[in-house]
Amino acid sequence: MGLGERMRQHRGESGPAGTLARVARQEARRRVRGLGGSSGSAQLPEPSRIRPVQGGARVDARRHAAFVAAVAGEATPHAHGGFLHALTFPVSMRLMTSGRFPLGVLGLVHLRNSVRHLRPVEIGSSVRIRSSVVEFGSHRRGTTVTILAEVWDDAGKLAFRDESLYLALGKSGGGGGDRGERPDPRDGARRIARWRLPASTGRAYAAVSGDINPIHLSTPSAKALGMKGMIAHGMYAASRALGVAAGDASAPGTWSVEFGAPIRLPAEVSIWRVLGAEVAMSLRGVSRSGRQHFAFEHMPDVGGDGEPEPG
């Protein structure tokens, strides 16, 4: 089956409505089987038993421009790194709503992302995407899962490698965790920007990314899922921070983001640059009360020519 045919086959099921339908079906299956939001280690399958999911996408110029505008970015000559993550999202959701995936998608907490952007990706080109489970882990608040999403460009070279760490709240598999006093994220840093995020931020990002989790869309829908109010997408903050740190958010490099306190909308977030950081750019997003929303690190140009797409 060719790329174009695969894209047409999955277009309907990879859109926002299809994503919600798959999440609803997965939750219904879990309720029938009596599974909660997290699973004990004895119930977790080996990652190799969860079949990777593959798909295709087009780096659409109009959608890309809308994405860049939504994250307050500047026009880039190739695909913005945050946009490449957004392209992988439907494929990763198909993986996490498959029958063998043991954790409920509703309620998953996004903890961290680690990205290697190896090659620029042409706007207007078609890419191949593969999403797989790397490992399950334990956490003092439940069970974690690492999802790897990879993007191959139209030359068949690996261009983008993105690991996402999620937490399913529930009984812990035995992890510890430091609950001690946290340092002030402003120490050793200089404020370089202030973001004023309106209540519509989550809806605007959902429209351009395809991530339409109800916790980002309105206060009532967020509260219905146990949140105190609607919150901004973590990858909205990461994509916007990438533009600040990299300048050209489409250029090869490595970057990572660790999420802390949720950004409750509307919000004001101060951006602090860490002084004397060992990486090229280290940023922290901080609330008006001094709580850290995220820590972002970026290093430009990892080099390399990508890896060929597996057969």
Amino acid making up residue 166: Y
Instruction: Write the burial class of residue 303 (CB in 10 Å: 0-12 exposed, 13-18 middle, 19+ buried).
Output: exposed
Measured CA to CA, the distance from residue 212 to residue 202 in angstroms comes to 9
Q: How far apart are CA 193 and CA 244, in angstroms?
A: 9
Give CA–CA dist 195/201, Å, rounded: 11
pLDDT for res 9: 39
CA-CA distance, 233 to 104, in Å (whole number)?
Answer: 19
Cβ of 191: how many Cβ atoms within 10 Å?
12
In this prediction, residue 20 carries a pLDDT of 53
Q: What is the DSSP letter of 49?
A: G
Q: 303: which residues sit within 8 A by CB, 6+ positions away? A: 252
CA gap 270, 236 in Å, rounded? 15
Tokens of 4: 């174009």
- The answer to whether 53 and 116 are in contact (CB under 8 A) is no
Nearest alpha-carbon partner for 257 in 81, 82, 112: 112
Residue 269 phi, psi (nearest 5): -120, 125
pLDDT at 99: 84
269, 285 contact by CB (below 8 A): yes
Whether 198 and 169 have beta carbons less than 8 Å apart is answered as no
Q: Kindly give the confidence (pLDDT) of every residue in the chain, 311 residues in length, as a single tens digit, with 9 standing for 90 and above.
A: 343 443 343 444 445 555 555 555 555 454 445 544 444 445 789 999 999 999 999 999 999 999 999 999 999 999 999 999 999 999 999 999 988 899 988 778 899 999 999 999 999 999 999 999 999 998 888 999 999 999 999 999 999 999 999 999 875 444 444 556 789 999 999 999 999 999 999 999 999 999 988 999 999 999 988 889 999 999 999 999 999 999 999 999 999 999 999 999 999 999 999 998 777 899 999 999 999 999 999 999 855 566 666 55
- Note the pLDDT of residue 303: 57
Do residues 192 and 272 touch, judged by C-beta distance below 8 A?
Answer: yes
What interhelical angle do 234-246 and 81-96 show, nearest 10? 150
β-bridge mates for residue 112, sequence order:
165, 258
CA–CA gap between residue 133 and residue 151 (Å, rounded)? 15
Q: Give the pLDDT confidence score for residue 8 in this predicted structure.
A: 40
Other C-beta atoms closer than 10 Å to the C-beta of 124 total: 12
**Predicted structure pTM score:** 0.85
The per-residue pLDDT for 27 is 55
Interior angle at CA 131, CA 172 and CA 26, nearest 5: 60
Per-residue pLDDT at 213? 87
Q: Is the peptide bond before 214 cis (omega within 30 degrees of 0)?
A: no
* Calpha distance 68→64 (Å, rounded): 6
Characterize 148-172 residue by residue with b for buried, 16 or more Cβ atoms within 10 angstroms of its Cβ, and e for exposed.
bbbbbbbeebbbbbbbbbbbbbbeb
Q: In this structure, what are the phi and psi dihedrals at residue 73, rounded to the nearest 5 degrees?
A: -95, 180
